[in-house]
Amino acid sequence: MVTITKSTIVSSIWRNFYDRIKSQITSVTISISPGSQTVQTYASSYSDVNFSSKDNFPIIVINSPRIPQEQFTFGKTQVNGTIDLEVYATNSQAADKFLDAINNAIETYKGDFADLGIQMLELDDTDNDFVEHGNIKVHIRNARWKFQYKYDRTRSY
């Protein structure tokens, strides 16, 4: 986990989610052959994903957080942020299990996030989709987590 500062809000928050997910989620067991699936790629955006072969899946994408801000107090700013997490898999059961594992890892380690200042961390929404890329059927699962982060405002007189 990395310390979050006012000057590194986006990159530090992203890194904390990325590190937690990468350390906790590597594979899932499914009821059909081959019996388990192992993450092939952890990416920071959809555009970084290579869809050319079934061997490239499953993929987990940790998108950059959105960080709208508002004045909290005279001396503090509050970030009311969200972060979107996506799973791309060629098996729908694996996609569901990876999303469950991601949500469980975040829920289980809320205290670690809170220690860094990421507070009020809650699952906001989930979604699913299915697309075809050539002859590859891709099952997509999304989770949006919302959070708050407060920092000291820069003062000017």
Cα(72)–Cα(151) distance, integer angstroms: 9
Whether pLDDT at 13 is above 80 = yes
101 with 26: CB under 8 angstroms?
Answer: no
pLDDT tens figures, 95-146: 999 999 999 999 999 999 999 999 999 999 999 999 988 889 999 999 999 9
pLDDT tens figures, 57-76: 999 999 999 998 878 777 78
Looking at residue 130, what is its pLDDT? 93
pLDDT tens figures, 17-50: 999 999 999 999 888 777 888 999 899 887 666 6
Return the SS3 of 25. Answer: coil
Is the pTM value of this prediction over 0.85?
yes
- Among left, alpha and beta (phi > 0; psi -120 to 50; other), residue 120 is left
Cα(102)–Cα(81) distance, integer angstroms: 18
Q: What is the largest CA-CA distance in the chain?
A: 66
Q: Please give the domain boundaries of the chain with CATH numbers for all domains.
A: 6-152 (3.30.2000.40)
* Dihedral pair phi/psi, residue 117, rounded to 5°: 100, -5
135 with 67: CB under 8 angstroms?
Answer: no
How large is the average pLDDT for residues 68-90? 89
Looking at residue 47, what is its pLDDT? 67
